[in-house]
Each structure stands twice: as C-alpha cells, then as structure tokens.
Amino acid sequence: MSQQTLSKDESSFLGKVLSNQYMETIQKRIDCWVEKSGNPQYGWKTVLDHLDEILNSFQNDLDEILDIRLSSGEISDKKQAIRSIFGNLLGNIIIYIFIQNKLVGNISEGIFINNKSVIPNFEKVFTINVGEQPEKLNTNLVIYSLGENLDLNKCIAFFPLQSDGNQFKKAYKWKLLMEIAMSDCEVRDKYEISYDPPTVPLVCFVTVNFYNEINNPQHRGMFKFFDRAFIGKPIDPQATNFISPLSTLIEFMNEKLS
C-alpha cells in the first residue's frame, strides 16, 4: 500500500485530538517509540501493542502536572482525575496512531476515521427502535469506508474502555439489542424492535487493561458479544480466544472495510 494524504475532515479531527492538554507529552513518547523501531511502517503498527507501557511511563509526568493542579485547587481528587484523563486519552491515542498508519501506507485507501458529525447515515446506522423509543449507540470513534457516491459503505465503532466502564456496558447492551433486531425471533416481535440500517456496523472494544478488565469474569463474558476485542499490550495471540493484540486492528480494518 502506498502512502496517503488526509482528508480535510481528518486533518481537522487530528487537530482537535492534538489540542488536548495531555496529548503533547504522550505524543512525544509515542513518536520516540516509533523512531527507535527504525522502520515507520513497522513501528506505527506495533506501537499499538505497547500502549500499556507508554501510558504507564506517562503517569510519572501526569503525577507532576496533577500535583500542581491539586495544590492550586483546580482539582479536588487526584485519583479520580487520573482515571478520567486516561479514559479519554486512549481514544485520542488510537486516533493519532491510526492517522499515522494511514500516512505511512499501512491502511487501505478509502478508509477514514472521524466522529459522527461527518459520517453519512450515522444516525440510521446506530439507532435501533424499540417500539417508539430510539436506542442509540453513543460512539465518537468510528472507522469507515465510502462507496462510489460517497455514501457510507462499511463501518466499525470502537469503544476504548472509559474509567468507569459505563460506556462499555452500554455498548455491550446495544450490540446485544442489534443481534436481536437482526434475527427472526419472538423477542424481536414481542418488543417491536426494528432496525433497517444501510450497512450493519461492526462493534469492537479496546483496552490497555489498566483496571484488570481482562481478568474480570463479568467483563470477559461481555467481550464475547463484540465483533472483536483488542488489548494494547503484548500478549500471545494463541493464548486467548476472546481478545487480540491491538496491532491486529490494522489488518482487521483493511479486511472488513474494503
């Protein structure tokens, strides 16, 4: 695959991601890791398997920043602030690394990453009706491809685990509701569940295991309802059947969105 340029929307999206006050420091750590790999195409892909290591090293920088904010009264609970910051950072990091993989040619032409405001038919794809009540999937991280007429072709919604896990649980429930809506069963008819999207999305989950999610029996059961679950730390792909190395995301999206 050849190197690519970004769309206007992606450039704008990247700018918003990098404007996060904590991204400058973490971006430098990521860039340094890739540079040390000696091969940009290899480095931007495999760095995804080392986000746990990078984020843990970043915590020392974060401690110093938050100590200053705590002493000035900007925050009242340092522990809660750390959980919130790391929950939000993971999504931004994935966006940043995705775009770098696109620029070095690891991602197929015609695959984009953005938020819901610019994605065609977003509401129709991510809304299921239960009687007259719409159930919407709240996601701001979607990777997608477009058809010849710039209509939505295929898409994947990603859920980086947030600090409290609520978004993860909501996504799992929505995915289960989608499975019911797509099947011919009494439950679908009983609750008047209807869903007629122009394309059926894949729903995936991403973690770095900061809060030991993969060893939580409840979470492990939920993982199986997602189309794929990924982890940003080195693991043996043969050792587990419920979660994959995050670096395999590149091949997964190239295969599923083409």
The answer, yes or no, to whether residue 1 has pLDDT greater than 80, is no
Q: What percent of the chain has pLDDT over 90?
A: 45
Tell me the longest C-alpha to C-alpha distance in the chain: 59
Q: How confident is the model at residue 32 (pLDDT cuts 50, 70, 90)?
A: very high
Mean pLDDT computed over 127-132: 94
Helices (H) and strands (E) in the chain, counts: 10, 9
Mean pLDDT computed over 164-192: 87
Q: How confident is the model at residue 97 (pLDDT cuts 50, 70, 90)?
A: very high
Q: How confident is the model at residue 37 (pLDDT cuts 50, 70, 90)?
A: very high
CB 54 within 8 A of CB 26: yes
Q: What are phi and psi of 207, to 5 degrees?
A: -140, 160
The answer, yes or no, to whether residue 251 has pLDDT greater than 70, is yes
Q: What are phi and psi of 111, to 5 degrees?
A: -105, 130
Mean pLDDT computed over 12-16: 87
The answer, yes or no, to whether residue 47 has pLDDT greater than 90, is yes
**pTM across the whole model:** 0.88
Q: Which of 60-64, 124-128, 174-178, 243-247 has the lowest mean pLDDT?
A: 60-64
- Give pLDDT, residue 78: 83
Higher pLDDT, 22 or 168: 22
Query: What residues contact 254, with CB distance under 8 A and at least 6 apart?
Result: 107, 108, 111
Mean pLDDT computed over 127-143: 90
Q: What percent of the chain has pLDDT over 70?
A: 91
Which domains occur in the chain, in start order? 8-103 (no CATH), 111-257 (3.40.1350)
